[in-house]
Amino acid sequence: MTLQLRFRPALLCMAVMLLPFGAQAIEPSQTVKVTQLLKTTQTWNGAPIQYPEGQAQITGLMIEIAPGGETNWHEHPVPSFGIVLEGTLEVSLTDGRKKLIKAGEAIAEVVATAHNGRNVGTTPLKLIAFYAGAVDKSLTVPRPDAKPTTN
């Protein structure tokens, strides 16, 4: 099975997730099931979602992290939304807050906030992420200066 066919259901779910749910763009029927994965005006840490100025550009990525692997500290200057397909992701903020996202769960990622993602499971993590950015605007900025607060 090709990679494209293997992830088609997940990509369809993400496309549905990005559509406005007030008026369903895909009508449910006997052969079509529509499940809302995420509907929010805030990131998971409670900040309001605001789109960047400029020519809109949507970017979709498949992110894979080996068991015990991590993203290193970084931030996103644009809104991003994702769903974990396989594995368990722990996202940590510098203030000590953590969010655990398991397979099948969706998240509105933090914006302009240093964070680190880590695969806390024993199997490879697969995450599909969509970024609502703008042409010529970075999706991710490394934050090696970010240090978690110790309790």
In a domain, 107, yes or no: yes
In a domain, 11, yes or no: no
Query: Tens of pLDDT along 83-130?
Result: 999 999 999 999 999 999 999 999 999 999 999 999 999 999 999 999
CA distance 78 to 52: 6
Residues spanned by the domain of 48: 38-142
In a domain, 81, yes or no: yes
141: CB partners within 8 A, 6+ apart: 74, 75, 76, 77
CA distance 66 to 89: 11
Number of domains in the chain: 1
In a domain, 19, yes or no: no
CATH number for the domain that contains residue 54: 2.60.120.10
CA distance 26 to 32: 8
| Mean pLDDT over the full length of the chain | 88
In a domain, 8, yes or no: no
Grade residue 46 by pLDDT with cuts at 50, 70 and 90.
very high
Whole-model pTM: value is 0.79
Q: β-pairing, 106-108 with 80-86?
A: antiparallel
